[in-house]
Structure 1
Amino acid sequence: MADSPMPARPNAKPLCIDCNTEPKIKGHSVCRACNYQRVKAWRVANPEKFAAQVARENAKVTPEVRRRRLLSKKYGITPRHYDEMLKAQSGVCAGCGLPEKDNVHGVLAVDHDHETRVVRGLLCNPCNTVLGLVKEDAETLLVLVDYLRSAGRQHDQAGTSAVSRS
């Protein structure tokens, strides 16, 4: 009796038409990995169409959903966590005390350590910008505080500005 080929398994999933090794995604002709490569290649080949597609999708998203996604993706927190931090800070900037409603965009920025990604608190835009400009270096801030204090004393003693303007 000749060996007959093994019959196909009745529950076997159809294979990807590109790689022919992985099961295809339901409703597609390719597997996830091949589909990802196809989409990636299409985005590179059609940047204008991709940008328009992203704009259409973003237009459908409500500001609250956009905020939730940003907080989650960028800082790993929820809107509820933000609200709890804001309440703990009495609704004001942790740096200067500016009320949230008086901030540029009506909300405080989430301050976080750029190396560890740990959220530290909520700051107004000017305070957050200052930390960014000094690269979050506390020593630089202390040097600047000393500078301001000594320049103020010089100004008080001389009765003129620390820098003479001719």
Structure 2
Amino acid sequence: MHYQAARKRGELPPAEAGAPARPTHRLSNVNREARTADCSLCGPGAAVRIRDDKRRPAECKRNHIRRKRDREFKQEYGISREEFRRRVAEQQGLCQICRIQPTFLCVDHDHRTGMVRGLLCTQCNFALGHLRDSPALALAAAEYLRLHGGGTAGAYVTSRQGRT
């Protein structure tokens, strides 16, 4: 994205006085003959090709974007993307409650402590939220369904299993 054009369109806030127009690299081990350097923001061993126009090379930009997404994921959910992938593999891609394989899994956490409890499908995650994470409400809801012929849940879960 071209930063100045985006600012003119109102997609970005106005630049502060003295602030750089775009993010910069933190270069070390500069080799002027080979026109390469290491970027500490891109990670260890990420060689950056130095260009005359001083713009960020595409491979370095991809590394910055990936690392930013990783930081945001950790900030939002309290676990790293690697931990998320490990948990998905442990659960074999299935929701911990209904045991279906959804399109994607949600990170379920305790709203009081912020601790991650597990990975759930969207429906089960919403259900826990609507039950205010209360085991007593969940048991009351299960008893209500049992008393009023709520025996269709198995058929509904079975029909959802075809989705991946």
Identity of aligned residues (%): 34
Aligned residue in 2 for 1:85: 87
Aligned residue in 1 for 2:100: 98
| CA deviation string 1:37-78 (max 9, x = no partner) | xxxxxxxxxxx98x7227xx9xx8898556423321012211
Which amino acid is 2:122 matched to? N
Q: 1:125 aligns with which of 122, 130, 136?
A: 122
Structure 2 distance, partners of 1:134, 1:97, is 19
More helix by share: 1
Which amino acid is 2:140 matched to? V
Q: 2:143 aligns with which of 142, 146, 161?
A: 146
Structure 1 distance, partners of 2:121, 2:90, is 15
Aligned residue in 1 for 2:112: 115
Return 5+ residue gaps in structure 1 as ranges.
Answer: 1-47, 154-166
Normalising by structure 2, we get a TM-score of 0.50
Which amino acid is 2:71 matched to? R
Return 5+ residue gaps in structure 2 as ranges.
Answer: 1-6, 14-21, 23-60, 151-164
Structure 2 distance, partners of 1:93, 1:69, is 25
3-state secondary structure, aligned to 2:148 = helix
Q: Which has the higher contact order (CA 8 A, sep 6+)?
A: 2
RMSD across aligned positions (CA): 2.8
Aligned residue in 2 for 1:162: none
Aligned pairs, number:
96
**Offset, 1:134:** 1.0
